Chain A
Amino acid sequence: MDELESNLIARVILDDDHKAFGELVSMHQSSIRGFLLRLTRGDAALADDLAQDTFLRAYLKIGTYQGTGRFFSWLARIAYRNFLQHIRKKRPEELAGDPPEGITPGFERASNAKMDVERAFRLLSDNERTAITLCYSYGMSHGEASEVTGMPLGTVKSHIARGRAKLQVELRHWQDEMPAAEMRKKEMAS
């Protein structure tokens, strides 16, 4: 955690400084919203609602943040629990429905491969999607991901392995093509 972030957190805890908390929100809103966007399979409106709840709860519970681990990991844990509460309220037939088809902001400019990755992510289970997102996209260790999700370490690793295998199958056409294209680029450059 950098010094600016720790100063902001201290100001919120000690002085209930709203401006400081606003800066923390601004620093982490993209990451938390992106995380929830992945969990909700691209439902931007739902992800934003859950993200607002996440930061509201973070403000109310910031006194419990002990400074161990990254602040983002602490926020991600709150976000993940909000997401779980949301899906527990949903009926099974709502959960089994197709993922939303609308264009999600931020993804429009992504390359074709990345768009296919996002579509492939929607086919994973919630746990697989969560584990791979935390460990790959946000660079968490398996241990950190285990703390965020409350899943045992071995379970996190299993979800990553299974999710990765599914993504390999879904993205096989890209995998066959891209490494060869990269090889050609290297040959031309050398």
Chain B
Amino acid sequence: MNAASNPQDRWLDNLLSEPPAALPDAGFTARVMTRIRLRRLFRPLILGGLGLLGAFVAMRFASLEAMAALLPTEKIAQVIDALPTINILPAPDAIPSLPAIDAVDFASPAALMMVAAMFLTWLIQEAA
């Protein structure tokens, strides 16, 4: 700053140059850090939510496959015959069996609890 030429100007310069009064923290830093932690949690929550949605859809498909297995084959054949020109459904006995998927019961409570526990553990790790 240019040096003031008279006492009044110097007085004003000195007054303006005094630093503002210090403001007590009063929890301000804690509030900022809480907002940062919440923001870090937001992203994995979105990803986790999408993952749960995908798992839910997969479970529903597994249920549908189980229901389809209960239908009598002659009923399925009637449906297939009703679509003479466009045959998008293979014959039921042509559907390959996947032992790995057949062995997993997606709707069991134990499986759901395991998935939920893994998700919560991951969330806690992300938030830490």
Which A residues form the contact surface with B (CB < 8 A)? 18, 21-22, 25-26, 29-31, 33-35, 37-38, 48, 51-52, 55-56, 59, 105-107, 109-110, 113-114, 117, 132, 135-139, 164, 167-168, 171, 174-176, 178-179, 182-183
14 new A-B contacts at CB < 8 Å, known A52-B32, A56-B36, A179-B10: A18-B33, A22-B33, A26-B29, A34-B21, A37-B23, A105-B24, A110-B21, A113-B15, A136-B13, A136-B17, A137-B16, A137-B19, A138-B19, A167-B12
Known: A18-B36, A178-B11. A109 touches B31 (CB 8 A): no
The answer to whether B23 and A56 touch across the interface, beta carbons within 8 angstroms, is no
The answer to whether B23 and A52 touch across the interface, beta carbons within 8 angstroms, is no
Known: A18-B33, A25-B32, A56-B36. A30 touches B23 (CB 8 A): yes
Interface of A (DSSP majority class): helix
Known: A33-B23, A179-B8. A25 touches B35 (CB 8 A): no
Query: What are 5 contact pairs spanning A and B, CB under 8 A?
Result: A18-B36, A21-B36, A138-B19, A176-B8, A182-B11
The contact of B12 among A34, A51, A171, A183, by CB within 8 Å, is: A171
The answer to whether B12 and A175 touch across the interface, beta carbons within 8 angstroms, is yes
Q: Compute how far the CA of A174 lies from the CA of B11 in the bound complex, rounded to whole angstroms.
A: 9
Residues of A within 8 A of B22 (CB): 30, 34, 106
Asked if B60 lies at the interface with its beta carbon under 8 angstroms from chain A, I say: no
Residues of A within 8 A of B8 (CB): 168, 175-176, 179
The answer to whether B29 and A29 touch across the interface, beta carbons within 8 angstroms, is yes
Residues of B within 8 A of A25 (CB): 28-29, 32-33
Q: Compute how far the CA of A26 lies from the CA of B28 in the bound complex, rounded to whole angstroms.
A: 8
Question: Which of B7, B20, B36 has most chain A Cβ within 10 Å?
Answer: B20
Residues of A within 8 A of B21 (CB): 34, 106-107, 109-110
Which B residues form the contact surface with A (CB < 8 A)? 1, 7-13, 15-25, 28-29, 31-33, 35-37, 39
Residues of B within 8 A of A110 (CB): 21
Residues of B within 8 A of A52 (CB): 28, 31-32, 35
Question: Which of B19, B32, B36 has most chain A Cβ within 10 Å?
Answer: B32
CB distance from A17 to the nearest CB of B (A): 12
Residues of B within 8 A of A167 (CB): 12, 16
Q: Which residue of B lies closest to A58 (CB)?
A: B32
Residues of A within 8 A of B18 (CB): 114, 137
Residues of A within 8 A of B37 (CB): 18
Q: Compute how far the CA of A178 lies from the CA of B14 in the bound complex, rounded to whole angstroms.
A: 12
Q: Compute how far the CA of A105 lies from the CA of B35 in the bound complex, rounded to whole angstroms.
A: 23
Residues of B within 8 A of A106 (CB): 20-24
CB distance from A12 to the nearest CB of B (A): 11
The contact of A114 among B15, B24, B31, B33, by CB within 8 Å, is: B15
CB distance from B13 to the nearest CB of A (A): 7
Residues of B within 8 A of A26 (CB): 25, 29
The answer to whether A137 and B20 touch across the interface, beta carbons within 8 angstroms, is yes
